Each structure stands twice: as C-alpha cells, then as structure tokens.
Amino acid sequence: MIDDVEIRELLHDLESDRVERKASASDLRKIRKAVCAFANDLPGHRRPGIVFVGVNDDGSCANLAIDDDLLKNLAQIRSNGDILPIPSIEVSKHEVDGCVVAVAQVDPSSAPPVRFAGRVWVRVGPTTQEAGDEDERRLRERARHGNQPFDRRPAEGAVVDDLDLRFFDEEYLPQALARDVLARNNRTTEERLASLRFLVEGVPTHGALIVLGKEPRDAVPGSYLQFLRIDGMELGDAIKDQKELGGPLHHIMRQLDDLVDINVTTALDIASGPLAVSSPDYPVAALQQLIRNALIHRNYETSNAPIRLYWFDDRVEIHSPGGLYGQVTSKTLGTGVTDYRNPLVAEAMANLGYVQRFGYGIPTAKRQLEANGNPPAEFQLEPNNILVTVRRKITARPKT
C-alpha cells in the first residue's frame, strides 16, 4: 500500500504512466481499461498504478461527491469477471490538498497478460493503449519467472495433443477473446494457448489439462466428481444411483446441471391456497453455485480425491478436498471476499459462462435458499476438507 505522500506526488505528476485521472466514474469501461493496464505493468515498475476519481486531466479538483456507492462500484471492478486474471485492487477515499478523491490502487499481476473484455491493455506514457504482439510476448516472458500456482505450472510429460484443440479453437477462443482481436491476428493454436496461459514453453499447464484435456485424470487424478443418490439418511443406506462425472471441467459442469435438474423434486405447495404453486425441494441455482464453487476452488495439487456429491433423502452434501485459501477465512466466507487457489481454472470457467461474478457464488446460493424456504447452508471447515450441507425444504411434498 502506498502512503499519503506518494499519493499526493502521483496526483500532481501529470506525466506519470502510473496514474489515470477521471473527473467522475461515469465511464467505468475506461476505468477498467486502466485497471487492466496497471495490472499488466508493461513498464515493469513493480509498483501499484493509481486511478484517481474526482480529479480533472490537469490535476485540478473536480469537486465530485465521493460516497459509498461510488467506492463500492470501483471495488466491484475486481469481481465483475471481465478483467482476467482477476486484478488486485484496493479502493479508498483520500483528501489531498483539500480535494476529496477516490483512489483505486492496482497491484501488478503475477500472471500477465491480463485482459479486459478479451483484449490486453497496457500503459504507454500517460495513456492506455491496446497491446501489440511484442508487448504480449514481453508480458508472457515476465510471467514465467514468477511463483505460479499449481494450475499455471507446466504438467511434466504432457503434450499439446493431450488437449481438445477443436474445442479450444471453435468454442473457447470466441468466448475468451474479442471477435476482432481473434480475427486480425494470425497466431498459431500453440501461440494462442500460450497467450492464455494454457501452455508454458510448449508444455500444457495443469489448468489446461483440467479445462481442455481429453483425459484430465491422467495428469490430475482428482479431477472428477463422484455422485451418490442414497435411499435414506445415512451413508450406509441403499444406493439408488451412482455416477462418476469426468472429462474436462466444462463437460463435468454440463453433466452436473443435468444431474441436479433430474434429482430436484418439484411439488405443489398447497399452503398457497387454491392457486397452488410449484415448489422445488432445493433451488437448482443454489446447488449449481455451491458445487461449481467446489469444482473451481478445490485442491487439485496434493489431493487425488474427487469432489463428492451425496444426495440423501433429507439433505445434499458437497465434500471438497482442500481447506479455505488465502484471504478467505471462516469469518469472510460468503461475504464477497475472494482468493484463488486455481486462478487459471477460475478464469476459464468465467470465460465459458459458468461464473458470472467472482465472489458471489456463495452469497447467491444463500439468497436462493432463503427465497425457496430452505434452511441456510451449513459449512464444516477443516484444514484439508470443506463439507457443505444443504437441507431439504421441509414443506415440499413430492408429486402424487
């Protein structure tokens, strides 16, 4: 975190490439471009970039009211899912020489290139510009020398042919990159894989195998989901159905959506009177959010266990290998605080539409459960495992 003295110096330095000034927050798209560019840190400052809101281009005060809504909108830039990998942003309110401003401090990313809406943005002097091929090459080169999480490390022995390149070219790329960016560059598939962190020096990353692999379990043994539908309320009761959902993660999630739809029971809620309404015993969206959250954030590195989904008569249990990670604690879980054990996997699932906003999966599930009349989800947090229990809506009755 930079101190007040440096904030004042940067505010008045009109030539600095670490500063973006905005009179208001009315154009959040331009602010997002600047955030993306600061996260890429092409000049290599290794120091935060600053977006000042409430300041004119010439450094004079715009006399903007800096309220909680404005600060909240700036803070949400991090979790909206259109800047990937997710940038590190700290938003605060400051008074500098009598002018009250909002300050968004953006830390350099450890895994550039960072993209906003499928494009890489960088700072060139005091301006934000779209990166060229050479800029991206420099950013990728820099990323190789940092300490990378498991899903961004190369998988020893893996080759490009282990990936589903048809899916990557035809389905993933159009969702990950802006259409005109995709159309105008003549890169090879390998170059595109590398630019999206799926390839390091010609070797697929673990994240590439989890997301795009033909047989992900060959390299990442725990990358599947085990489902049991149990006829009763104890683990030893008869099993009505069992499945293993495997393959690349997007395929698991598609199968998972079908599985949840099939197993949710919808009944007529006669308590509503003559105009009875359909009432599911579980809200589908809540279960989807909680299970997707487990698939994205589980520990793939040191555990070979799958995600386990146990569906009892009175509850659904989701067992996820790996405890809480980073900034997420028992106190901050479900409050919107985010951190990423598998940032490349999270980015890929956002590109494919399985994540709408980062940090909102558990809060969304909580709202859905409350609206449907289910008890709140229960979280049992252990150092190496997380158990989420969702209890059946007691008033729901099966169809007759």
For residue 308, give every residue at least 6 positions away whose Cβ sits within 8 Å of its Cβ, in sequence order, or none: 225, 226, 228, 317, 318, 319
- How many beta carbons lie within 10 A of that of residue 253, not counting itself? 20
Q: Do 241 and 386 fall within a single domain?
A: yes
Give per-residue pLDDT as tens, 39-50: 999 988 889 999
Q: Do 204 and 241 fall within a single domain?
A: no
Percentages helix, strand, coil for the chain, rounded to the nearest 5?
35, 25, 40
Give per-residue pLDDT as tens, 245-266: 999 999 999 999 999 999 999 8
Give per-residue pLDDT as tens, 316-372: 999 999 887 766 677 767 666 666 789 999 999 999 999 877 767 888 999 999 999
- Tokens, residue 336: 């919107």
Residue range(s) defining the domain that contains residue 115: 4-130
- What pLDDT is attached to residue 272? 53
Give per-residue pLDDT as tens, 187-217: 899 999 999 999 998 999 999 999 999 999 9
For residue 312, give every residue at least 6 positions away whose Cβ sits within 8 Å of its Cβ, in sequence order, or none: 230, 232, 233, 234, 237
- What pLDDT is attached to residue 394? 80
Residue 288 pLDDT grade (very low, low, confident, very high; cuts 50, 70, 90): very high
Q: Do 14 and 91 fall within a single domain?
A: yes
Q: Based on the structure, what is the number of domains in the chain?
A: 3
- What pLDDT is attached to residue 190? 94
Q: Do 208 and 265 fall within a single domain?
A: no
Q: Omega before 113 cis (within 30°)?
A: yes
Q: Do 214 and 107 fall within a single domain?
A: no
Question: Could you say which of 130, 162, 180 is where a domain stops?
Answer: 130
Q: Is 297 left (phi over 0), alpha (psi -120 to 50) or beta?
A: alpha
Residue 145 pLDDT grade (very low, low, confident, very high; cuts 50, 70, 90): low
Question: Could you say which of 218, 237, 272 is where a domain stops?
Answer: 218
- Is residue 134 over pLDDT 90? no
